[in-house]
């Protein structure tokens, strides 16, 4: 069964967009947990692994954002 993820109500930010995203991803998230169980992992360790992966992605994204800002600031300072 192919996972279905609904789109946001609008492209621009809106109230409860984060909750809509959680709802959109919940079914796929549960499918990933179930798949992990089928391969011998338990749901708790799979959820913890996903949490760590999400944390690492957020940290990398923040580092990239800060690097981009720093490069832009250095570039601006030269002119």
Task: Report if residue 70 sits inside a domain.
Answer: yes
Task: Report if residue 51 sits inside a domain.
Answer: yes
Tens place of pLDDT per residue across the chain (79 aa): 566 899 999 999 999 999 999 999 999 999 999 999 999 999 999 999 999 999 999 999 999 988 888 887 788 777 6
Which of 35, 60, 59 is CA-nearest to residue 47?
35
The domain containing residue 55 runs over which residues? Answer: 17-78
pLDDT of amino acid 3: 63
pLDDT of amino acid 32: 96
Task: Report if residue 26 sits inside a domain.
Answer: yes
pLDDT per residue over 32-47, tens digit each? 999 999 999 999 999 9
Task: Report if residue 3 sits inside a domain.
Answer: no
Packing angle between helix 17-38 and helix 43-78, nearest 10 degrees? 130
For the chain, what is the domain count? Answer: 1
């Amino acid at each position: 069964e192919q996972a279905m993820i609904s789109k946001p109500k609008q492209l621009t930010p809106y109230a409860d967009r984060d909750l809509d995203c959680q709802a959109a991803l919940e079914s796929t998230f549960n499918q990933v947990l179930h798949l992990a169980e089928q391969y011998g992992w338990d749901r708790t360790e799979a959820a913890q692994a996903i949490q760590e992966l999400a944390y690492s992605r957020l940290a990398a994204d923040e580092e990239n954002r800060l690097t981009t800002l720093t490069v832009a600031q250095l570039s601006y300072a030269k002119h």
